[in-house]
Structure formats: C-alpha cells, structure tokens
Amino acid sequence: MNRHRNSESSSLQNSEPIFSGQHGQRDKNEQTVSTTSTFLPHLPEAEVRVKFRGCLLGGAVGDALGAPVEFMKRAEIVRQFGARGIQDMVPAYGVLGAITDDTQMTLFTAEGLLRGYVRSQRRGICHPPSLIDAAYRRWLHTQEESPGGTGKTDRGWLFQQTELFAQRAPGMTCIAALKAKRILGTPADNDSKGCGGVMRVAPVGMMLKALSAEHSALRDANFRQAFDLACQAAALTHGHPTGQLTAGAFAAIIFLLLEGQSLRDSIEQALVLLREQHHHEETTAAINRAVDLAERSTPPEQALDWLGEGWIAEEALAVGIFCALTAKDFESGVVMAVNHNGDSDSTGLIAGHLLGALHGIDAVPERWLKNLELRGVLEIVADDLATVAKWTLDDDQSAAGFAESDFYTARYPGS
C-alpha cells in the first residue's frame, strides 16, 4: 500500500545489469532430445533453507498479520483487540491469513528475477528490469482478470496460482504506472516515493546472495548489484529517488543478513553504499533516526510515532528497522510493526523479512504459518531463489540435464 509525495527522479534507472554466470547455447528454437528422465527440483542445504524461507515467509506473515488493521489508528486497534493490539491472524478480505498486494508483488518480483536468470543462462542476454516489469504486468492481470482469462502459455507457473487473482487494496501508484507504460523496463513517469517500491524487493537481495554463494569471487559485485537492481525494480513504478534508494538499501540489508551478518552491521554497510548515491539524504536520515531511537531504548509507541506511519518508502523501512533492532524475537518484532497508526501490512512485511532472514523460519510462529495464504507457493519460491545458481540450464546433452533445464524453463520461461 502507499501514499506519496513528489520530487525528482533518480539517475540509477539507467544502468542495465545482467546476471553473471555461464551462458548456455541452447536456443528456444533448438530441437530437444526425447527423454524419459524425470527431475526433482533442487532443495537448499538445511541452513540456507531455514534462512531463505524465514525471510520470504517471515515477510508474508507480517503482511497477513497487519492486513486487517492496515487502515486503523492504534487507538482503534487497541479498542478492538485489547491493550496489546492484534496478536494473531484474523480474517482480512474474508480470508484467514490473507496476504495483500505487498506479498503478491513480492512473489512476482521473484518470478521476474528467476525468469531473467533463465533467459541470461540460456540466451546469454537479459535486461532484468524488463523481466521484472513483465512480471508486474502479469500481477496487474491478476487484479483485472479471472484465472485462465487469456489462455497464454508463456505466463508460467506462478500465474497459474488462482489465489493470486484477488484484489487486496493494490497501490494505485503501481496500477497507474503499469497501465501507463508503453516500453517494458523503463522507469515510471511520476514522482511517487510511496512504499509500494520498497515492500516488494526482498527477493532481489535473496537471489543475488544465492548467486554469490556459488561464485564467491562475484560477491562484492553482486552485493552492489542487489542494491542497484532493487532501485531499478522500484523505479518501474515509483519515480522519486527516495522511493528507489530505500528499496536498494532494503535489498542490500537482506543480502547481508542472509550472509550471516548482524542486523546492526548490515545496516551500517548498506548505509555506506547508500551514501554514495545522489539524493540519498532522506533515506539515510530515516534509517539513522530508526537506529538512534533503538539505541536510546525509546518506547516503541513513541518511536513509531516519530518515525512516521510508513505510507512512504523511507518511513516504512525505518519502522521495520526499528522493530527488528529492538525486538527480543521474531514474534514481538512483527507484532510491534503492525500495531501503529499507519501502513501496518507493509511495515509488518518489512520487519518480517528482516527478522526472518536474521532468525530463520523456525522463529516464525507455527500458529501464524499454518493459515498463511499461499504458504506452499512461498516455500517453493524461497527454495528456488536459494538454489538458482545450481540449476542446469545450458547445453548439457545428458537426459538428466535436459530434464532439469526443461523443468525450470517451464516453471520460469525466459521469454
């Protein structure tokens, strides 16, 4: 969800990243061999799986917990749910554990990234923002069509998930920007810095971290690319540099948390990268304010009032950071992040991504997970983001190699 203010656009939208790796020679028009080999998708190592699932599903449960109270003031939340506020899932949009457009768009960000990687490895060329933009177009169709409405075959596995065809108060900035666009991968023509750009980019940090694990020599380049590509992904719908740079900082922090660094160290390293950018001041100030309030042990209700309601990007990230820094565990941090005056689903999601990446899926309460909408889909996407660098997508002539390539190409068509 987002509301926005206006200003100028960012220079970060002009770079054109491509995923590093060995590019295959198998073109989409090349005939494949017949094979009876079956393929089971890669699963991450246990430690990696815990972190990646924690990050993605942690964000989704924060989104779902905050969804019923998104447009409520804290005083209203307390009147309805008691002095501690909302503590457990209650129905939103008629569904217990319902996700909102925040998690929907996060899933489509992941899908665009994975389709971009497939394309880069099989064709040797890819402009990731264009593939992410195409994924957002598919999300837009879920807001306007019935399942199966077009019959197109290139829309992939995610588009087949019928629960995604649900309007959950989608951000009007995102809708308007996607409808107005004529060329995929180009930045939005607006000055919005609403939180709709930052809330969907955790998968950028996740996938670039996974690629670094398999290619350690590329680690520093991939860290910077996580920042840059998240900025570009946000720029597809949000034209204000603060809306973009906040997304970059968030993805960079996710990258570092999945690497095993502390939250405080991750924030500091992201700030170093952030300060190198033009127009960083608003995002830098918001993050520093959150860190300062956390270090002063400011009471949460007072701190969240000072940090803002979270409708704009830097405020949403600041709220998520403060809650993650001061929480004793995953549950208390996410509860804190949704019980305030503002954009509860987005701040809950951001805090959930941070705390889930930090503590892992085992820290996420099962009573929240058991009713989480699209839980199985989220688990699959988290595992795919974690294992993407292991996928065989090139010209391996073995039956098993073709089966694996065909499996992932069908799930994430690189077209």
Q: Are 371 and 385 in contact (CB under 8 A)?
A: no
Q: Are 414 and 115 in contact (CB under 8 A)?
A: yes
d(CA 60, CA 373): 9
Q: Are 61 and 372 in contact (CB under 8 A)?
A: yes
Long-range CB pairs of 81-85, under 8 A, 24+ apart, other chains included: 84/335, 84/339, 85/335, 85/338, 85/339
DSSP letter for 377, please.
H
List the structure tokens of 328.
Answer: 């004793």
Residue by residue, pLDDT tens for the chain (415 residues) are 444 333 333 333 334 445 654 444 333 333 333 334 578 999 999 999 999 999 999 999 999 999 999 999 999 999 999 999 999 999 999 999 999 999 999 999 999 999 999 999 988 889 999 999 999 999 999 998 766 544 454 678 999 999 999 999 999 999 999 999 999 999 999 999 999 999 999 999 999 999 998 888 999 999 999 999 999 999 999 999 999 999 999 999 999 999 999 999 999 999 999 999 999 999 999 999 999 999 999 999 999 999 999 999 999 999 999 999 999 999 999 999 999 999 999 999 999 999 999 999 999 999 999 999 999 999 999 999 999 999 988 766 677 778 899 999 999 998 6
Residue 254 burial by Cβ neighbours in a 10 Å radius (0-12, 13-18, 19+)? buried
Q: Are 343 and 334 in contact (CB under 8 A)?
A: no
**The predicted structure's pLDDT at residue 20:** 56
Residue keyed to tokens 């929480």: 327
Type of residue numbered 29: N
Q: Are 99 and 63 in contact (CB under 8 A)?
A: yes
Residue keyed to tokens 């099989």: 122
**The predicted structure's pLDDT at residue 70:** 96
Residue 96 burial by Cβ neighbours in a 10 Å radius (0-12, 13-18, 19+)? middle
DSSP letter for 185, please.
T
Strand partners, 92: 95
d(CA 383, CA 226): 18
DSSP letter for 92, please.
B
User: Buried b / exposed e across 301-332, counting CB within 10 Å, b at 16+?
Assistant: eebbeebbbbbbbbbbbbbbbbbbbbbeebbe
Q: Are 357 and 258 in contact (CB under 8 A)?
A: yes
**The predicted structure's pLDDT at residue 19:** 64
**The predicted structure's pLDDT at residue 215:** 83
Q: Are 275 and 228 in contact (CB under 8 A)?
A: no
| H or E element in which residue 23 lies | none
* Distances from the Cα of 103 to the Cα of 56, 194, 219, 265, 351, angstroms: 9, 16, 27, 27, 13
DSSP letter for 271, please.
H
Q: Which of 41, 103, 45, 108 is nearest to 70 (CA)?
A: 103
List the structure tokens of 228.
Answer: 């840059």
d(CA 282, CA 105): 25
d(CA 41, CA 67): 32
